[in-house]
Structure 1
């Protein structure tokens, strides 16, 4: 393997959240020959980061962390610093506060654990009146059946996801990163190997992009390009939008995030279209099929700008509990949103032990966007061999954790029917007008 220099050729497979943040970080560090490949123009309509908003929780130092907690808190700290101070990311963080609750006994410990570890002041909530008091009068008029939780007024909020993704892409481009996109020119068909290493990737049009270092950061599609020994489970969630009136947009501006670990969450309407995004909470969907070669169960991602009727019903149930005045309005948009779960839901950011010129940057496990700026730093540090030891240990290549893995494990997620859902068993989907904008 060639020694890494600022003139080394670096190839990123995947131009989503992690691809753009890493390309930006590397360009800022002075690397001159960076190419990013993606099947769609940036931001891709199927990228999980191409979204109106994502929850953001700030990190804080702690001297009592276990190794696992340290990794989580350290990445939160790095991300928080970027969201608050970095000129590219700062405009997109909205520290509006955070309401978290559970409405079923099986998940109350999740809320209790958050309260115990939180370094910010919280106000406990246990009655409908107390939940309603967290937002302007006339918004939360639901009955909040069985809800118990808290209001954290500082240290949390949301980020404008698409805006941050586009800003990172444009700044990386300005700094000289080359983005090659499209179903022919940008879509990777396979990685390229010599006798000992990965030497780049070949796109659908037959072009061979050779590189000194290759970074595989293709999200839920990564395991179609490389054998992760079952460390990645492509998992999808469902989201929908409702169109708000001009009057509602004014009233609902700057709301805290409302999140029930059993039923769903929403944030304020987006500034561009005035649509309210909301999510029904569940352990996720997989598209389960049998591997034709091994017979093992696997999950194959696909794009769809509709959601199962089952999710629509659960989403409307969440709205009826909180904001029933809009619960029966037609959806203006919906889609499924893919990520990839590792067995322990900790990121996988590491050089492959056999292919030393291949860096794997995968396994967002539902937290990949919140950590977007910090992930770019971590991947660049791993490439340079300077990733701090506790993070390196946490993010290591660890196929031993996937031995005998149960791909229907809920992985400490709640809601829905309490199980991982199967797209193969979906009988009916919504019929919202197809759109390519998230």
Structure 2
């Protein structure tokens, strides 16, 4: 059984052989049908027995004596039926009947009187004083198809190896580059993401090798980004951890209540920064690893209103004015977690960087095919030259160097926007000042 399974396992040569056998079968069927249709047409319009009757009638036209006409007809019948018996292919006996001008039978074979139209092909010839009728037994369709099939089989068996051999050689030679490509990939180390270095002659394999090299290049870039991410994360975590250790030491050795209070406050701030950074890293890692997710039906207006209501005390404490411009209701289907990640990170950035007395405006827009979320402020903003870099991990602009943060907020927003199927861009903020973050994505249908 294992040997049989191996034999039946699909391979290109076996598929080629099967396709060739199928093609020959279809050609044979088409030729057989064509020959059969031509045979039926010929027998219906001018059967072979009619030709025989015409020739024999022409011979009898010059014969006046009934005896001579009967002898000629009898000799023709005996010779034809002997040839049929010797061939062994044609069934039955051809029946002859010869009549004179008065309708008297001059000669008839024994079965001539039992001939019926449905069982024989009949032909009649009138030449001179004679009326000749010849009836040949009909051949079944199965017999006719057998004749044509045997004739075709010889030609097809001769043609099959002549067609198969060149195709087999072409496939075997054509598969050699593919086998080389397979070997090159199979012996490669798991950490080796360098290009394959193969340029096959065939266009199809050249395209496959190019696609594989492109995949390796993307994997190489992904690996480099992950390494950089790990290094940056380790560097960013090192600072709050060092502060935690230092303040814990000071707290443990503080000699007075004010010293302990200062150390505890600094320790708490360092722990909060470390916790915030850890949450940001986990969020970013989740967005990077998750390819797709389910969607929920959400009223975006209601969701944004609830989020702003939760942040209102913090904004009031910072002296910021929060506003919302949105339709009364905006029900859509989308990945809710991704949208909430976008909204919370944009608002968190605005509350961190906009100074007291500033404004933060949130806008929801629904177009015919797209949805859009805008978060604009009148804070320090991001210079146009730095706007693309602002989406890189751990990027901190010069204007926000004094503000506590991780530099991951906008990187998270970009990844979450991709999860929504859209993108994010930075524009000028309110009244031509500050910063505007615009996230747009297509509507789900």
Category of TM-score, reference length = shorter chain: under 0.3
TM-score, normalised to structure 1, is 0.18
TM-score, normalised to structure 2, is 0.17
Question: Which structure would you say has the larger Rg?
Answer: 2
